[in-house]
A and B are shown apart, each in its own frame.
Chain A
Amino acid sequence: MTPVHASIENVSRRGFLKGLIATGGLVVAAEFAPARGALAAYASGAAKMTGGVVGDPHVFISIDPGGLVTIVAHRAEMGTGSRTSLPMAVADELEADWSRVKVVQSPGDEQKYGNQNTDGSHSLRHFIQPMRQCGAAMRQMLETAAAQRWDVNAAEVQAQNHEVVHKPSGRKLGYGELAALASALPVPPADQIKLKDESAFRYLGKGNVQIVDLFDITTGGAGYG
């Protein structure tokens, strides 16, 4: 199956609406919900742009020993909320507790962060999937680290709301305790990254997260430029 999103990239709004009318919406709607296998094969439109896509979770995620998760927003905020929603996609796949997440803005460096040409509503279309993959990769590294620490089978552990749980015994290790070991592990290859099922999302699509700059914007402290 050709990655369906790749074709959506090239559909203009007018063309999309025409298609919707022609098909009664059903076929197009189906294309927006491809099988999970297709999601993993998603080809980001940014792949052909300067800097492309960077999939290394170390570039976007760091976890300090106290458990604070810092996520890099590498696209400029233009009012669409992407500075919040891309890190939120990382956090959701990471099973991070959003109240223990700090978002920092990257400098302009496309070699390091991938494409940063913020226009055309590309940020979410091009990067939600790579960001989900980064979060999921780091989640699996945290799970592997916990399994190693406990010397148990990786299938017995599960990342859950900022900690990893050993299901048979109920033992738990916080992300902060696992951070150093996890970040030293190899990053799982793309075909071994397991994205969450959408029904397990904590934040994506839930409407329960406010933009990260809300307080600063209303008090004059938000940074621009």
Chain B
Amino acid sequence: MLLARACENRITIIGTKRGSTAMVKLRVNGQEQSFDGDPSMPLLWYLRDELGLTGTKYGCGAALCGACTVHVDSEAARACITAVSDVDGRSVTTIEGLDRDGNHPVQKAWRALNVPQCGYCQAGQIMQAAALLATNKNPSEDEINSAMSGNICRCGCYQRITAAVKAAATGA
């Protein structure tokens, strides 16, 4: 229930336009793209299989784990349940495009505090954290935990994740 509420609060689920056959035009990591395949295809497969951006991970396929988190117009969105048609005309950012040199404050904090273990969920964690800090420059611990609660980590890096979001916010 808690998770469901958190997801409801934090994830942008954009209305679908299934059945459309028009060319989808979107921007991915700053580059214009167009796609004339099945518009109901999940954005996750478009990013991974069509564009080769494999940093965004498949976890559950049902927006329950957060591994596939990307930004759609700077808001965190789960790419596994977002259709390509949902992002027509919009701007998508993946982990590869968060910062050209991989030095976004969240990425730097993640490395400074040795957050990742296996790392599989971490692109999603980083994108979720970056979206939080874009709208809340100095979140409280409760706000961090609430914003991050839909991103699951099997290795259990949660304490370091919270600490790294704080560090990224404060520049510590």
Contacts and interface: CB of A to CB of B under 8 A. Distances in A.
Interface string B41-80: 0000000000001111100000000000000000000000
Contacts of A215: 102, 111
Given A79-B154, A79-B155, A220-B123, A214 B55 contact: no
Nearest to A224: B120
B170 interface: no
Interface in A64-89: 77-81
A9 B53 CA distance: 42
A216 B54 CA distance: 12
B96 interface: yes
A217 interface: yes
Nearest to B118: A79
A199 interface: no
B122 interface: yes
Interface residues of A, number: 18
Interface residues of B, number: 23
A211 B102 contact: no
B55 A219 contact: yes
A215 B111 CA distance: 7
B117 A81 contact: yes
A218 B122 contact: yes
Given A79-B154, A79-B155, A210-B111, A218 B96 contact: no
Contacts of B126: 218
Contacts of B89: none
A217 B96 contact: no
Given A79-B117, A81-B117, A218 B54 contact: no
A203 to B, nearest CB: 15
> Taking each of A81, A221, A222, which has the highest tally of chain B beta carbons within 10 Å of its own beta carbon?
A222
Contacts of A224: 57, 120
B116 A219 contact: no
A217 B56 contact: no
A213 interface: yes
Contacts of B117: 79-81, 211
A77 B94 CA distance: 24
Interface in B139-172: 154-155
Given A79-B155, A214-B111, A219 B120 contact: no
B116 A218 contact: yes
B107 interface: yes
Interface in B87-120: 94-96, 102, 107, 110-111, 114, 116-120
Contact of B119 (A80, A210, A217): A217
A216 B116 CA distance: 11
Nearest to A222: B119
B119 A219 contact: no
Nearest to B116: A217
Contacts of B122: 217-218
Nearest to B96: A220
A81 B117 CA distance: 7
Contacts of B102: 215, 218-219
25 contacts: A77-B118, A78-B118, A79-B154, A81-B117, A210-B111, A210-B114, A213-B119, A214-B114, A215-B102, A215-B111, A217-B116, A217-B119, A217-B122, A217-B123, A218-B111, A218-B116, A219-B96, A219-B102, A219-B107, A220-B53, A220-B54, A220-B94, A220-B96, A222-B119, A224-B120
Given A210-B114, A219-B107, 12 more contacts: A79-B154, A79-B155, A80-B117, A211-B114, A214-B114, A217-B122, A218-B111, A219-B95, A219-B102, A220-B55, A220-B95, A224-B120
Interface of B: 53-57, 94-96, 102, 107, 110-111, 114, 116-120, 122-123, 126, 154-155
